[in-house]
């Protein structure tokens, strides 16, 4: 890795570790070539692997979060059904969003190593609008072929990518579309500092930040690893 990892990179406050992969898509500068290889391999299977989302800044994740809190952007339950957020108090809203979305500052998308992918070829052929919901990647779903390809390719020991949210459990909903460049992502997660995260959240414009910080304190997350923190937050 060309750059040492800083807190600003971990929390989506810096873009110096990124490279432009294609129009409006930025990734960690060291994963571009392996990503091209993955796309090429998928193409051999007749799959047009495309990136729906790659790096997100803290502000971008904050916007997504706030739009969900305000009911502007849909929030789904664990069965991919929309939730009426207007009927919920703030704590229940926060917990509902955590089923699928990370708190700003705690998103793996800040690293530039993590991607949401879909089969653009299948979507265009069927004039389909991407939703990024589990049924799209299950048997009979429009992206079943992509899911099968990833199941096979990512299980190869030589593949540098993996799915961080591959199975249902511990409050985490499976995200078959989410892949991560494991070796570099692990360097980010190992340097994650929970106290710095709380400090950033407290001074942010995140809607519900007081509730979020209270949950940090109630759960006594001090000393918790990044992976454990995400699991615990999505299981409260």
Residue 89: per-residue pLDDT: 96
Helices (H), the chain: 7-10, 32-44, 58-69, 90-97, 120-125, 144-154, 182-191, 194-202, 209-219, 226-233
Residue 210 neighbours by CB under 8 Å, 6+ apart: none
5: Cα separation from own chain's centroid: 19
DSSP 8-state class, residue 103: P
pTM of the entire predicted model: 0.91
Q: How far is CA 110 from CA 100, 104, 153, 172, 233, in A?
A: 16, 9, 25, 19, 18
Q: Is 226 exposed, middle or buried (0-12, 13-18, 19+ CB in 10 A)?
A: buried
Mapped onto helix, strand or coil, the DSSP state of residue 174 is coil
pLDDT in tens, 27-53: 999 999 999 999 999 999 999 999 999
CA distance 50 to 95: 30
Point out the least confidently predicted range of 59-73, 86-100, 125-139, 162-176: 162-176
| pLDDT tier, 100 (very low <50, low <70, confident <90, very high otherwise) | confident
> Could you tell me the domains of the chain?
7-233 (3.30.1380.10)
pLDDT in tens, 186-229: 999 999 988 898 899 999 999 999 999 888 776 666 556 787 77
Name the β-bridge partners of 18: 28
């Amino acid at each position: 890795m060309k750059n040492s990892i800083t807190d600003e990179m971990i929390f989506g406050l810096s873009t110096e570790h990124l490279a432009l992969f294609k129009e409006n898509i930025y990734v960690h500068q060291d994963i571009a070539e392996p990503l091209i290889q993955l796309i090429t391999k998928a193409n051999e299977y007749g799959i047009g692997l495309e990136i729906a989302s790659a790096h997100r800044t803290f502000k971008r994740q904050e916007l997504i979060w706030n739009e969900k809190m305000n009911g502007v952007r849909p929030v789904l339950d664990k069965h991919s059904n929309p939730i009426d957020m207007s009927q919920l108090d703030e704590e229940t809203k926060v917990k509902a969003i955590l089923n699928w979305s990370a708190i700003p500052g705690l998103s793996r998308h800040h690293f530039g190593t993590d991607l949401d992918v879909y089969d653009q070829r299948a979507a265009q052929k069927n004039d389909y609008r991407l939703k990024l919901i589990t049924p799209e990647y299950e048997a009979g779903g429009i992206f079943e072929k992509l899911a099968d390809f990833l199941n096979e390719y990512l299980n190869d020991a030589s593949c540098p990518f993996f799915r961080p949210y591959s199975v249902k459990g511990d409050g985490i909903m499976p995200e078959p579309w989410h892949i991560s460049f494991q070796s570099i992502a692990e360097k980010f997660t190992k340097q994650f500092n929970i106290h710095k995260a709380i400090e950033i959240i407290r001074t942010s414009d995140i809607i519900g930040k007081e509730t979020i910080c209270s949950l940090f304190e109630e759960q006594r997350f001090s000393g918790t690893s990044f992976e454990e923190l995400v699991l615990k937050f999505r299981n409260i």
